[in-house]
Amino acid sequence: MRAQFVLSEIGVGLRRNLTMTFAVVVSVALSLALFGGALLMREQVSSMKTYWYDKVNVSIFLCNKNDAKDVPKCAKGAVTAEQKKEIEADLKKMDAVETVQFETVDEAYKHYQEQFGDSPMAGNITPDQMQESFRVKLDDPQKYKVVATAFAGRDGVQSVQDQRSILDNLFGLMNGMNVAAIFLMGLMLVIALMLIVNTVRVSAFSRRRETGIMRLVGASGFYIQMPFIMEAAFAGLIGGLLACVILIAARYFLIDGGLALQEKLNLIDFIGWEAVLTKLPLVLAIGLLMPAVAALFALRKYLKV
């Protein structure tokens, strides 16, 4: 088999079908970019999850003396030293609990000042308005409910708050975007596949004279089909390369340049270039193989060998 001959046939085929080739390239590029984007988004979410879940606790806020008036649960007054001891002992007994830290009113006040010291509200807050609390770290953040049910109704406990639930809203949003991206990718993929099948069909039809002669002189089925498959694979590869460029550009635009989210949201640990670059071979491989396989199936139908 002669590579040069095959390559020139592919070139002729692609040029003859330029508009269709272009459509295939664009649709493959878009679907693969969405695919890569979804992968990266998932990685971003999971890296944020491990980063943040590590930092968040379940907080058990205890009643202070002001709560007695406006919080029904604390009607009996501020938490007593005995209740505190009991709660701490019970917390430490629980399997799910990793560490328990007690935060005094003063510490709470200090943290508050650190966080909101600049805002005018901070000036009005006095230490006796702050609450004592237990900061509980769980070995598995999912087990929040166990802690909540065990302590929410106790005397002296004002409320049990899972900081994770605040984050979960954010993650829920990101996951939603992820699902949307995957859905869109699926649609684009279907479009890409249909375009490939159609391109191959048109290509096979416009070259039926050549393939007919090939058949008659005894070219193997593989040899007859290969130019079509290579054409589809080549268009797919171009689409894959384009998708890689889109991914790199998107990473740069969103995080470093352009929107510069890294600067604006420096609390978030964004995925690095490495995460992007490791996805590219996968994107390229799919860009190469998917159209080739689609072409193979299309040929079974439209090209008699």
Partner 1 sequence: MIRFDNVSKTYPKQSRPALRDVSLDIEKGEFVFLVGSSGSGKSTFMRLILREERASQGMVHVLGKDLARLSNWKVPQMRRQLGTVFQDFRLLPNKTVAENVAFAQEVIGKPRGEIRKAVPQVLDLVGLGGKEDRMPGELSGGEQQRVAIARAFVNRPMLLIADEPTGNLDPQTSVGIMKLLDRINRTGTTVIMATHDQNIVDQMRKRVIELEQGRLVRDQARGVYGYQH
C-beta of 132 vs 231, nearer to partner 1? 231
Say which DSSP state 73 is in. G
Residue 13 CB, nearest distance to partner 1 (Å)? 13
Residue 219 CB, nearest distance to partner 1 (Å)? 4
Give the N- to C-terminal CA distance of the chain in Å, as an integer. Answer: 18
72 CB-contact burial (10 Å; exposed 0-12 / middle 13-18 / buried 19+): exposed
The helix (run of H) or strand (run of E) holding residue 189 is helix 163-206
**The length of the chain, given as a count of residues:** 305
Residue 228 CB, nearest distance to partner 1 (Å)? 14
Single-letter code of the amino acid located at 119: S
C-beta of 116 vs 223, nearer to partner 1? 223
Residues that bind partner 1 (CB under 8 A): 1-2, 5, 209-210, 212-221, 223-224
C-beta of 90 vs 210, nearer to partner 1? 210
Q: Which residue has the tokens 């593989």?
A: 222
CA dist 51 to 40, 55, 167, 269, 271, Å? 16, 7, 11, 8, 12
Residue 257 CB, nearest distance to partner 1 (Å)? 49
Residue 12 CB, nearest distance to partner 1 (Å)? 8
Residue 206 CB, nearest distance to partner 1 (Å)? 12
Cα angle 27, 23, 282 (rounded to 5 degrees) comes to 35
Residue 251 CB, nearest distance to partner 1 (Å)? 46
- Residue 50, CB-side half-sphere exposure with 13 Å CA sphere: 7
Say which DSSP state 65 is in. T
C-beta of 183 vs 297, nearer to partner 1? 297
Tokens read off for 153: 């109704």
C-beta of 116 vs 205, nearer to partner 1? 205
Single-letter code of the amino acid located at 9: E
- Strand pairing class (58-62; 97-103): unpaired
C-beta of 164 vs 207, nearer to partner 1? 207
Radius of gyration from C-alpha coordinates of the chain = 31
CA dist 89 to 85, 92, 137, 138, 262, Å? 6, 5, 15, 15, 43
C-beta of 223 vs 273, nearer to partner 1? 223
C-beta of 221 vs 272, nearer to partner 1? 221
Residue 216 CB, nearest distance to partner 1 (Å)? 5
